[in-house]
Amino acid sequence: DKGVWFGLLDENWEPIATLSPSDVSEVNTRLASPELSLDHDGMKPGGVSTMVDELISPDLGVFDEQGRFEASNIVGRSIGVQRGRTRQAYFIPYVDAQGEKMPETLHVESSGLMSLLDATPCPSVPESWRGGFEVRAANAAGTYKTPREYSLVEFATRADGYTVSGSAESAIRTVVQDSIDAVMRHMGWELPHMVVDFSSSGVESPDALIRVEDDFILPTVQETARTAGVAITADLWWPGDEPVVTRAAPQSGETALSMWDHPVAVIRINQMASGGT
């Protein structure tokens, strides 16, 4: 009736149940991950709600001394929100269950798909990220208490000057997709969980030079996007949606129309008209 759908999503961003939340609050800030908070009934006629089954179960976390739920992060759950053709997924790092004997109300704080860019490495030499892990129990400094997994990659130094240049829109897209490709290749992931939309914004974008220093993606491109007036957003693509214009291959200048048989986070990077603020 309100033109919006709320749902609980599993670790693959596929729907588990439709929700009827209350006290919904959404905060959207440019170049930052959107935030969502909501309350939901913990009980339903005849028992507990799906939210309690999925978010407050013995193997998903524990309650601290103040009665707050601390997730064990064993499986991922998200809140899905769809308005028209726009769909967002919000990760759930925090759940507060309230009630004297049963979880009568659940309070959820969550962060949108842009938070992926804050948690994904941005390699200065993405071509060097090719995987091949080995377990070591010691290095030149001595023996580890716990064996560690190592993999050889190259890192830039401040004197190296690793940069990506071009129009701001194009340079940011390249940095983001190069980083995603590098991490996927390094981890041996074959199915993409995140892609950049390479469709043209149709707006002229100023020249930019992005210095890549092995930070995370968002802090690497954030200032360039801010000063150039480039918008960076993320939304959730589901099978059956319109194809996405993606880069045809790593380091390629060609694009292709892509569709998948699983949900994918689509990063959209577009120059705003008149430079935007």
Distance CA 129, CA 24 (A): 41
**DSSP of 23-63:** EEEEE--TTS--EEEEEEESEETTEE-HHHHHHSSTTTEEE
Distance CA 192, CA 178 (A): 13
Distance CA 38, CA 30 (A): 21
Name which of 2-16, 78-92, 154-168, 195-209 the model is least confident about.
154-168
pLDDT at 179 over 50: yes
pLDDT of residue 70: 56
For residue 106, count other CB atoms closer than 10 A to its CB.
Answer: 22
CA-closest candidate to residue 6, choices 34, 46, 31, 39: 39
**DSSP of 218-258:** HHHHHHHHHHHTEEEEEEEE-TTSPPEEEESSTT-S-EEEE
SS3 sequence, 101-157?
CCCCEEEEEEEEHHHHCCCCECCCCHHHCCCCCEEEEEECCEEEEEEEEECCCCCCC
Distance CA 108, CA 270 (A): 31
Q: What is the pLDDT of residues 216-270, one digit of tens each?
A: 999 999 999 999 999 999 999 999 999 999 999 888 889 999 999 999 999 999 9
Average pLDDT over residues 182-199: 95
Q: Name the maximum alpha-carbon separation found in the chain.
A: 66
Average pLDDT over residues 92-115: 84
Q: Of residues 6 and 160, which shows the higher confidence score?
A: 6
H/E run at residue 88: strand 86-98
Tokens (6 digits) for 9: 């999503």
pLDDT of residue 42: 81
Average pLDDT over residues 56-82: 64
Mean pLDDT over the full length of the chain: 87
pLDDT of residue 263: 97
In terms of C-beta density within 10 A (0-12 exposed, 13-18 middle, 19 or more buried), how is residue 15 classed? middle
Average pLDDT over residues 130-153: 86
Residue 17 pLDDT class (50, 70, 90 cuts): very high
168-187 and 217-228 are packed helices; what angle lies between their axes, rounded to 10 degrees?
Answer: 170
Average pLDDT over residues 5-34: 94
pLDDT at 161 over 90: no
Distances (CA, A) of 119 to 76, 146, 231, 242, 243: 15, 25, 19, 27, 26
pLDDT of residue 65: 54
Distance CA 209, CA 174 (A): 12
Average pLDDT over residues 203-221: 95
User: Are residues 169 and 177 in contact, defined by beta-carbon separation less than 8 angstroms?
Assistant: no
Residue 75 pLDDT class (50, 70, 90 cuts): low
